[in-house]
Amino acid sequence: MSNEAPVGNPNEHLESLSPAPVWHFFRLLCNTPRPSHQEEAILAKIQQFAEQRGFDTSRDEGGNLLVKRPATPGYEDVPVVTLQSHVDMVSQADVEHDFSRDPILTEVRDGWLWAKGTTLGADNGIGVAGALAVLADDELVHGPLEALFTVEEETSMGGASRLASDWLQGRYLLNMDTEERGEVCIGCAGGVHVRINEHFVEHELDAQWSFLTLSVNGLNGGHSGVEINQQKGSANQLLPRTLLSLLDAHEEGSVAIASYQGGEMSNAITRSARAVIAVKNADVAALSAHVAELEATFKKELAEVDAAVAVTVGSDAPRQATLSAEDSARFIRLLGALPYGVERYSDEVPGVVETSNNIGVVQLEGGHLNLDAMVRSLRDSAALALAARIEGLARLGGFSAESTSFYPGWNPIPHSPLLTRFCDIHTQVEGHAPEVKVIHAGLECGIIGARYPHLEMISFGPTIKGPHSPSERVELDAVEAFWTLLRRTIESLAKEPLPA
């Protein structure tokens, strides 16, 4: 299957937006499919662009790409600045869309750029476009630059975790993955995944059983780090809650699970989930009434954040093999017991989530269960402790669980010279100092900083709303400000080097 966009001129309107250099490269990103683990097509285009301009390029074993641009003549001896962004994007859609083949189609609405029914990929495509625009800027005065383009950030921080040692030469790193104008980030949560892979023996049921489809839809979803504090509904919490309620409302062994599909990304709050279940014929009418009552309850509980939540029962599911009654109950009770959402708020950073869990992926098909929960915390010890607790819950139910893909948080340095310089530039550009933030979302800075502890790092970017969902959009004016800040910061570090 080709990774090339279809013929034609998708997203041609982006060429008319300002700042033109950033939107030119963002168009390239939109037109080139780049879901996590399928980044080769966009990396090849970036590498071709860089080599055509005579820049050195290299790849490490993690699949990351590094582009080096020599300094403006006369500025060769100033410290190297590293620009860093990830090229992959989250794949979520409300329309039919093949993220491995189709371009992201965009439109401007009320000062914001949206995608048409899919995630936009401004997270972190705007950062990538900004780095490419810097590499293409012949008027910019700069010292030696290197642009690091990482892979697999959205699934496991895989590219940053496999980053080559002794590869980067920068003293300062500008990460461009923060999503709020007027803020600069100096610290973030780390994380760990808890995964369950289990295989069940399936059974055929007789004619006394009816097969139904039970679905939860209408949720907004979103980023499990940025928006977990908004207490949005997760379909991987609400559908198990529904199943558990049905299980407890009827005699033991009266509900059997055939399949379950909920979520595709561990770092996205699950917008919809669907299960095929079997119940005794005599229980069908009571089940439908019970589900209607639960839907009304969910609408009341989520009225402020997910008022459109819907729980539906369909009677057209085909007959199929199911888990045993005992295994069905174990599966339902496990999902019902898993923690979801905010576990604890930070004492040191008021208002910021310290620790949380997102039940990102639950897939049961053909008797095989794949579950991926993502734990985040500003404290590595707290992340590992919650992961161990989830493992313990799973083992109580007879499941094998494993904590994997741990990555460290980014510990803030509140008074670094780089931060002070950026705050001064921000005041000049925006008329006020930025709000200095520590965020619950994961950034690659923690992993990169562990490998390159001498790096001074900050993260900034334009305003992006609804990341990891089809409501993702980026504010046009904020991109203009982001581009100005990026250029001014690079020029300032060249013309007025910070003290060593």
Task: For residue range 417-442, list pLDDT tens digits in order.
Answer: 999 999 999 999 999 999 999 999 88
pLDDT value at position 4?
A: 39
* H or E element at residue 334: helix 325-337
DSSP track, 267-297:
TEE---EEEEEEEEGGGHHHHHHHHHHHHHH
Distance CA 396, CA 412 (A): 38
435 as an active site residue: the answer is no
Cross-strand bridge partners of residue 279: 210, 255
Q: Which two tokens stand for residue 20?
A: 């033109």
**Cα–Cα–Cα angle for 311, 316, 320, rounded to 5 degrees:** 105
pLDDT at residue 251, rounded to an integer: 76
Return the pLDDT at 409: 93
Express each pLDDT in 269-294 by its tens digit: 999 999 999 999 999 999 999 999 99
Catalytic residue, candidates 88, 180, 283, 472: 88
CA–centroid distance for 439 within its chain: 14
Residue 231 has pLDDT above 70, yes or no: yes
Cβ(76)–Cβ(70) under 8 Å? yes
Give the pLDDT band of residue 349 (cuts 50, 70, 90).
confident
Known active-site residue 153: yes
Domain definitions of the chain by residue range:
12-189+410-495, 192-407
Third-level CATH fold of 12-189+410-495: Aminopeptidase (3.40.630)
User: What pLDDT is stored for residue 249 in this prediction?
Assistant: 86
Q: Is the dihedral of CA 116, 117, 118, 119 positive or negative?
A: positive
Identify which of 130, 129, 120, 99 has the alpha carbon closest to the alpha carbon of residue 37: 99
pLDDT band at 53 (very low <50, low <70, confident <90, very high): very high
Report the top-level CATH class of 192-407. Answer: alpha beta
Q: What is the pLDDT of residues 391-418, one digit of tens each?
A: 999 999 999 999 999 999 998 988 899 9
* Selected catalytic residue, list 39, 123, 153, 283: 153
What is the rounded average pLDDT of the residues 288-309? 96
* pLDDT score, position 7: 46
Q: Which residue in the block uniquely carries the two structure tokens 């690079």?
A: 490
Residue 9, pLDDT > 90, answer no
Contact 385, 375 (CB under 8 A): no
In angstroms, the Cα distances linking 330 to 240, 252, 324, 326, 387 are 12, 12, 10, 6, 20
Rg (C-alpha) for the chain, rounded Å, is 24
Instruction: Report the DSSP pairing between strands 435-439 and 183-188.
Output: parallel
Mean pLDDT of the chain: 95
